């Protein structure tokens, strides 16, 4: 998942597409805008909290559920044979790392 953040960020940077960090760090980045075949995609499709059925309150509640789930699941992989980078990523998740914290952990391509 985190390697996709790096690839996506580098591809977006190369295409002058605006993006921002999601409020929920494990989700990475959200597009501010994008055109597909000349058509502008509505922001509500790019950032779920802009959907009237979800809103900020729904997004925050879902982010808490997702974060708790990730913490519970990834902690199972903290074993002695785990790759050092994997350990750092899991420890970052358990410590509520920011998107930038995750980004800084991944070796640059």
Confirm whether 70 is domain-assigned.
Answer: yes
Identify the H or E element spanning 31.
Answer: strand 29-31
Predicted confidence (pLDDT) at residue 90 exceeds the cutoff of 80: yes
In this structure, is residue 7 part of a structural domain? yes
> What local confidence, expressed as pLDDT, does residue 5 receive?
47
pLDDT given at position 94: 96
Q: Where in the sequence is the domain holding 56, given as residue range(s)?
A: 2-101
Q: Is the pLDDT of residue 92 over 80?
A: yes
Domain presence at residue 109: no
42 pLDDT more than 70: yes
Residue 27 has pLDDT above 70, yes or no: yes
User: Distance (Å, rounded) from C-alpha 3 to C-alpha 25?
Assistant: 14
End-to-end CA distance of the chain: 15
Asked if pLDDT for residue 46 goes beyond 80, the answer is yes
Statement: residue 3 has pLDDT above 50: no
Counting the structural domains of the chain, the total is 1
Note whether residue 108 is domain-resident: no
pLDDT at 7 over 80: no
24 closest CA partner among 51, 53, 52, 58 = 58
């Amino acid at each position: 998942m985190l390697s996709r953040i790096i690839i996506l960020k580098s591809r977006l940077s190369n295409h002058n597409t605006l993006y921002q960090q999601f409020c929920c760090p494990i989700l990475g980045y959200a597009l501010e805008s994008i055109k597909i075949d000349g058509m502008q995609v509505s922001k509500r499709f790019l950032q779920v909290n802009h959907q009237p059925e979800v809103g900020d309150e729904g997004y925050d509640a879902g982010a808490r559920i997702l974060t708790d789930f990730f913490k519970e699941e990834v902690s199972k992989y903290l074993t002695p044979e785990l790759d050092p980078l994997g350990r750092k990523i899991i420890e970052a998740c358990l410590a509520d790392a920011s998107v930038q914290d995750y980004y800084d952990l991944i070796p640059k391509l």
